Structures are given as C-alpha cells and as structure tokens.
Structure 1
C-alpha cells in the first residue's frame, strides 16, 4: 500500500514541477511583452511609476515561482525541506506585496498585520541563521 502512496506522491510532484515551469515561462514572456508594449507606446521609451511598480511586482512573482521550484527540486533530491528556504520564500512574497501596495486604499489594520508578519519572518530567519544549526524537515 505504501508503495502506491509513494508512487502517487512522485507523480503529483512531477505534475507540480511541470505546471510550475509552464507558469514561470508564461509569466516571464508576459513581463517581456508588457515591457516591450509599454516602451513602444507613447510616450516612447518611458514608463510611468504605476507601470514600473506593476513590472516589479511581476518580477517578484517570477522569483517566488523560481524559489518554489527550487524548493520542490530539493524535496525530490534530498527528501528534506530547509526551513530557512521556506522563510525566504515567505519574505520574498511579503516584499512583493509591500512594493505594490496602494497606501491610499489599504486599511490600516492590514498594514499593521503586514508589518507584524515582516517582523516575525525576519526574526525567525535571523534566529535560524544566528543558531548556526540547520533546520530541516525529513520527508519520507
């Protein structure tokens, strides 16, 4: 029975990797298309602040996708999951959200929550690195 469960897990992981590759590739092509179309439309060779923020948000989405793909590869190759890598993916996602946030329309409590989340993730990452130990989850 466990042999079938293990085979199913491997099949799901391979499907996730394939889907992640498709999403990362299509997102990268979309970023290129957006930059190209924004640069050729009047005013030529200029991007306004909103366009730049949107493009940076898309860059961070691609980076998050690459980090997730790297994490999945690590799970397959080593059957372990590094906690610090997961925290870094979380920090990257929060940074992306902070960069594209509209302060005029965002509720204050949301901003407080984001600040607490940034402090918690940064503190966890600091403590993990300061300890000098490797925090890994063994996956079997």
Structure 2
C-alpha cells in the first residue's frame, strides 16, 4: 500500500508515466470501436461511488450523463472517486483517475491533461461527453490549486 502521507511518493513523472502507459494501452487498439469497447471494459471495472453516497454537491453538470466527483485531501495528495450512470463515461472517469488519484496537488497542476485528447477520446465523443471529461479535469485542477 502506498503511503500518501509521504509527499515524495508521487511526482509529475508518475503522472507522465501513467499517461504514457495509457497511450501505449490505447495504441494497440486499431479503431474507435476497439477503443470504445476498452473504455466500456474500464467503466465496468471502475469502483465508482455507491448510490447511497452520491450527494447533490458532488454532481457535475454539463454532460449528457450524470456524473459524480468526490475529492478528498490528505496531507500530501488528492484522493478522487468518480462515477457516472453511463458506461462510456465511467470508462473515461477511470482514465482520469489513473492519471490523478493519489497524486499531490502540485504534480496535478504541473501536468497537462492533453493525453485524454491524444487518446482520440475528444475527437470521437459526443461534445457533451467530451465536455464532461473536461469539467471533471477542471474540478480536479481547481481542488489541487486550492489545496
């Protein structure tokens, strides 16, 4: 188990490594339908947020599906949980969590979320879904800035 109280545990390089791993993972998928299937598989595997723990203040508006985002601060990192009622969106949330969950705020702010667009996610999604991803990232970055 990672010690999140140790600020040296995660760095920007760790986020870069996670981004590179995601790009390599998606590079082997030939077309959008393969990427979509993989996103749905990631969505099925996402722990999410149990319905009884979904609060109105955690809901993110601006996407065609319902989104919830819970960000908790530890002394050295942000712990992030997210969920959606749409399977594709759950997969996109899984990508965001792989990048940012458990990372220190400074590392989050120093990292560009452009990898999500490079995965061809932005080009192939409905504008409201792509907007949902951007809203989630914006909220995470705002929480990192406030930490």
Q: Fold-level match, TM-score > 0.5?
A: no
TM-score (norm 1): 0.25
When you count strand as a share of all residues, which structure comes out higher?
2
TM-score (norm 2): 0.24
Higher RCO, Cα 8 Å, sep 6+? 2
Q: Which has the larger radius of gyration?
A: 1
